[in-house]
């Protein structure tokens, strides 16, 4: 638990005013889930991932997505070696512990599909051979929501593989001033030191899996997920994979709060980040300005919270 606090403080020293977003990032890290960061340019999306990679060590690779990026540029390729008289696998940038796919929606749909196996099964298949990825493996992707020229919409199957979708937003006035002063001597992220190891993260992830989940909490979570499928304004609700992601995130959230069990608030607090990007609304709802977060707020408000009565 002490390691979690050290990592969090290390991130907060270089990414100012984003305590909640850093907490969500830590939750995804401990739960072993991938994260989609969507926001306007210049809000610190890339810097946040780089700060996390520096804090925990391990292998870090960055992929700058663009329309001419090929699937093999991500997964790797087999090259014939004359001396060995055999094809040798040359790993792509995805073979690392922390991978940042910058501006993922600029890659073509064919290239994006190369990430499906990587995200779900944590392995790559090239020329009939399967290559396992390092443990842990986490994919962080960024995208710009206001640029449409030269971009490709992420398919629902890929969005569903992201445990969370986060937005950073603009800093407040005082924080932005502090940021200016902090950057006078260079990029703070480049000056960060490593405060944990990959082995530490693997150990913490194993502890998170042992967090207790009561049947009543599981029922509460399932009711929320299933309600998204029957809501009148929703065309496509959350999948069973979404329920698993919400459960894993709730256990990690409880662990960060130094509890060995999940409570309803763990689930409620993470519903927007875990389920929001998975809902596809009806056309009428979109025209009326209803957002997925509005739907989730309505569902959570109507779902009965399990309460334990003490005598």
Let me know if 172 is exposed, middle or buried by CB neighbors in 10 A (0-12, 13-18, 19+).
Answer: exposed
- How high is the pLDDT of residue 281? 93
- How high is the pLDDT of residue 308? 67
- How high is the pLDDT of residue 58? 82
- How high is the pLDDT of residue 309? 45
* Strand segments (E) across 184-277: 234-236
- How high is the pLDDT of residue 310? 47
pLDDT beneath 70, residues of the chain: 1, 146-150, 308-311
Q: What is the value of pTM for the model shown? A: 0.91
Query: Which tens digit of pLDDT belongs to each residue from 72-106?
Result: 899 888 787 787 777 787 888 999 999 999 999 88
Asked whether the CA dihedral 248, 253, 255, 261 is positive or negative, the reply is negative
- How high is the pLDDT of residue 113? 84
Query: Which tens digit of pLDDT belongs to each residue from 35-82?
Result: 999 988 888 888 899 999 999 998 899 999 988 889 889 988 878 778
99 within 8 A of 119, measured Cβ to Cβ? no
Task: Report CA Rg, the chain.
Answer: 20
**Is residue 50 helix, strand or coil?**
helix
* Nearest Cα residue to 137 out of 188, 198, 185: 198
* Nearest Cα residue to 139 out of 122, 153, 156, 160: 122
Distance CA 78, CA 129 (A): 10
Instruction: Please tell me what DSSP assigns to residue 190.
Output: G
213 within 8 A of 262, measured Cβ to Cβ? yes
Distance CA 308, CA 305 (A): 10
45-56 vs 198-209: helix crossing angle, rounded to 10? 100
105 within 8 A of 158, measured Cβ to Cβ? no
- How high is the pLDDT of residue 9? 92
């Amino acid at each position: 638990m002490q390691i979690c606090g050290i990592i969090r403080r290390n991130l907060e020293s270089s990414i100012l005013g984003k305590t909640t977003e850093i907490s969500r990032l830590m939750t995804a890290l401990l739960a072993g889930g991938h994260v989609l960061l969507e926001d306007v340019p210049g809000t610190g999306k890339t810097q946040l991932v780089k700060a996390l990679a520096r804090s925990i060590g391990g292998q870090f690779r960055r992929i700058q997505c663009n329309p001419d990026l090929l699937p093999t540029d991500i997964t790797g390729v087999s090259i014939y070696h004359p001396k060995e008289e055999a094809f040798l696998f040359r790993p792509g940038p995805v073979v690392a512990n922390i991978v940042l796919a910058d501006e993922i929606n600029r890659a073509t749909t064919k290239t994006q599909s190369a990430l499906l196996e990587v995200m779900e099964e944590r392995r790559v298949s090239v020329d009939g051979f399967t290559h396992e990825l390092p443990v842990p493996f986490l994919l962080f992707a960024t995208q710009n929501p206001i640029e449409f020229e030269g971009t490709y919409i992420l398919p629902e199957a890929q969005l569903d593989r992201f445990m969370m979708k986060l937005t950073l937003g603009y800093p407040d006035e005082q924080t932005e001033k502090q940021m200016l002063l902090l950057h006078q001597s260079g990029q703070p992220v480049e000056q960060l030191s490593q405060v944990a190891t990959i082995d530490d993260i693997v150990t913490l992830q194993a502890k998170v899996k042992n967090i207790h989940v009561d049947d009543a909490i599981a029922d509460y979570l399932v009711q929320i997920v299933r309600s998204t499928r029957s809501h009148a304004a929703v065309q496509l609700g959350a999948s069973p994979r979404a329920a698993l992601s919400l459960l894993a995130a709730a256990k990690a959230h409880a662990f960060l709060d130094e509890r060995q069990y999940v409570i309803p608030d763990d689930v409620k607090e993470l519903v927007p980040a875990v389920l929001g990007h998975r809902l596809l609304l009806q056309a009428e709802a979109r025209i009326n300005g209803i957002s997925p977060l509005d739907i989730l707020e309505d569902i959570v408000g109507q779902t009965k919270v399990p309460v334990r009565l003490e005598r």
